[in-house]
Amino acid sequence: MAFKHVNAVIVGAGAGGGVAAKELAAGGLSVVLLERGKWYSAADCRKDDLRNQRTSPLGNNSGPDEARNPRVVVDLNGQERVVLPSEGGYSNNAGCVGGGTLTYGAQAWRFQEKDFRMATTYGVPEGSTLSDWPISYAELEPYYEKAEYEIGVSGDVSTDPFHGPRRKPLPMPPLPVGREHTILKPAAQRLGLHPFDIPMLRNSVPYGGRPPCMQCRWCVGFVCEVNAKCGTQNTSIPAALATGNCELRTGCMAREVLTDARGRATGVAYYDADDRLCEQTADIVIVSSAAVESARLLLNSKSQMYPAGLGNRYGWVGRNFQGHSYSGAWGLFDFETYDDIGPGASIAVCDYNHGNPGLIGGAMLANEFIRLPYQFVSVAPPGVAQWGRGHKDFMRQWYRRSIAIQGPTQEIPIADSRVEVDAKVKDFWGLPVARLSGGKHPKTMETSAAMTDKAEAWLKAAGAIRTWKKLSGKGTSGGQHQAGTCRMGDDPRVSVVDKYCRVHDHDNLYVIDGSVHVTNGGFNPALTIMAIAYYAAERIVKGRKGRGV
């Protein structure tokens, strides 16, 4: 089935694709936005502890479809297994309109200036592919601001001395603070740290025609019941559709990016909601399917001219797969810390993102999102019984008297942490599935260990009577922070896209999502993905202007 030719086809309606669709449509381009999942609304919210994007023993709440989308995961011992989206190791983000932004925790971080210059700041450790970004914080700053104002961010970073220069304050004040915040703030100050209110893509006051957060406990992992969480599904994508220039097609699974005899992208072949093979031709093709699926789509777009897939002449597609090395500590208190007020995560310090002696990078440290009872089960410290009376006593005694501090430790990218396509396993549509393998650089683990010390010290200063550390595993992280697989760079031999997200060798094929991140900062990456989408889309629109689109 073929459709009317359009200016741009975008594969994936998440943080990157949703923003790009809006910018292009508003700039006068005709856009088709393909999304493999469904479009959920606030009314689809199910506050289900066992079936959500964060805790999924009974499945996900916003995709992708469990039965149709397996992956192959190779562990550190070389053992490989087929995993489903709700299972551990899958690195699931989401499969729905809005992508991860529908259910995320919504922390809205700008990376710091040094996060764009990691190789210059620290040198390149052996065995790593650490590199600077081809763009700087300053170049991205206006687009961070645009994301903060158009999508909507609340918080207060005025007491964080480490953030890069910014022209405007955040558009919304922070949410009222909870009990953990009031416990942790003076402790941080006593330690000489600089605590502040986490910037969040979440309404604290009515904004963008949507109400403020009602601070319930079902936050990260869930669709927001009152539509206060700001994602592309309730901001940029409706705005794109309102221009009249954008068509959103859901239930559409991309098969490959099509190219002509000269190597130009001509469109996308995909399976529609009824599993019919369709073709959408376009002047520009934008891949925005998140780090795993974007790499997979490029690798699956094989032709005589590109036997190893698109953008992969030097074998860089799928490499440098990274998320964050999440590490921190738990503390138990002899007084109640639980107040049943969401979203929970509220206070952060950026004192440890850089400047840790002998270490590379670091992490923003923050208190953890409010935990549901089932999530607390796996928290138990060493020595506590896994079952029986000891387990029940632990739950009863400490559920309301505990705090977790964690941080997304910046990973040092390595070439062998990668996404490939599997030679044998196919998905429902017969497409080779993503194959994830590799691990973390030893330097990443060193920094992570240091972050657990810092988190523990903060908890102790706050009065914790018992603390224990939680160190990230050595395997690939990926997950909802997945990034790096189509790295941005000036040199086509060691990167996949140029500084404007355009795939080297193809002047009309773009990757706009976390895949292009050279490094992933010590921060949740969503706002950076949005900022890059604004930045890259602006360039596309400007480039088309001269040609009378």
Partner 1 sequence: MDHLKINSWRRRRFLRIAGTATACGVLTSCARENSPWRFLTTAEGRTLDAICEQIIPTDQTPGAAWAGVVNFIDRQLMGPYRRQQTAYRSGLREIDQAAVSKFGKDFAALDTGQQTALLQALEGGAKRFFSTVIAHTMQGYYGDPRHGGNRDAVSWRMLGVPVIPIRGRNRYEFPKQGAR
**Rule CB under 8 A: which residues touch partner 1?**
47-51, 57-59, 86, 154-158, 169-170, 172-174, 176-177, 197, 204-205, 211-218, 338, 340-341, 372-374, 376-377, 386-389, 391-392, 395-396, 399-400
CA 42 to chain centre: 21
**How near is the Cβ of 274 to partner 1 at its closest, in Å?**
17
Contact, 214 vs 228, CB < 8 A?
A: yes
Cβ distance 484 to 430 under 8 Å?
Answer: no
Q: Which is nearer to partner 1, 168 or 545 (CB)?
A: 168
CA 194 to CA 348: how far, in whole Å? 8
Closest distance between partner 1 and the C-beta of residue 103, in Å?
Answer: 16
| Tokens read off for 382 | 């060493």
Minimum Å gap between C-beta 193 and partner 1 is 19
For the record, the structure tokens of 329 come out as 């500590």
Closer CB to partner 1, residue 341 or residue 541?
341
Query: Residue 110 or 502: which CB sits closer to partner 1?
Result: 110
Cβ 215 to partner 1, closest distance in Å?
Answer: 5
Contact indicator for 30, 6 with CB cutoff of 8 Å:
yes
How many Å apart are CA 69 and CA 75, to the nearest integer? 19
**Minimum CB distance to partner 1 smaller for 312 or for 402:** 402
Shortest Å, Cβ 371 to partner 1: 10
* Nearest CB to partner 1, comparing residues 52 and 235: 52
Q: Please report how close the Cβ of residue 41 comes to partner 1 at its closest, in angstroms.
A: 18
CA pair distance 25, 204, nearest whole angstrom: 29
Distances (CA, A) of 93 to 18, 30, 100, 198, 291: 15, 28, 6, 22, 10
CB of 201 to partner 1, least distance (A): 14
Question: What would you measure as the largest C-alpha separation in the chain, in angstroms?
Answer: 73
C-alpha distances (whole Å) from 427 to each of 90, 154, 318 are 14, 40, 18
400 versus 499: smaller Cβ distance to partner 1: 400
Terminal alpha carbon distance of the chain: 25
Closer CB to partner 1, residue 169 or residue 355? 169
- Of 86 and 515, the one with the shorter C-beta distance to partner 1 is 86
Q: Could you tell me the smallest distance in angstroms from the CB atom of residue 348 to partner 1?
A: 14
Number of helices (H), then strands (E), belonging to the chain: the values are: 10, 18
Could you write out the three-class secondary structure of 231-296? CHHHCHHHHHHHCCCEEEECCCEEEEEEECCCCCEEEEEEECCCCCEEEEEEEEEEECCHHHHHHH
Contact assessment for residue 15 and residue 232, using Cβ atoms and an 8 Å cutoff: yes
Instruction: Assign 443 to helix, strand or coil.
Output: helix
Closest Cα to residue 511, out of 483, 490, 544? 483
CB of 184 to partner 1, least distance (A): 16
In the three-class reduction of DSSP (H, G, I as helix; E, B as strand; rest coil), residue 396 is classed as helix
Nearest residue to 429 (alpha-carbon basis) of 78, 133, 36, 73: 36
Q: Which is nearer to partner 1, 162 or 338 (CB)?
A: 338
Residue 315 corresponds to which amino acid? Answer: G
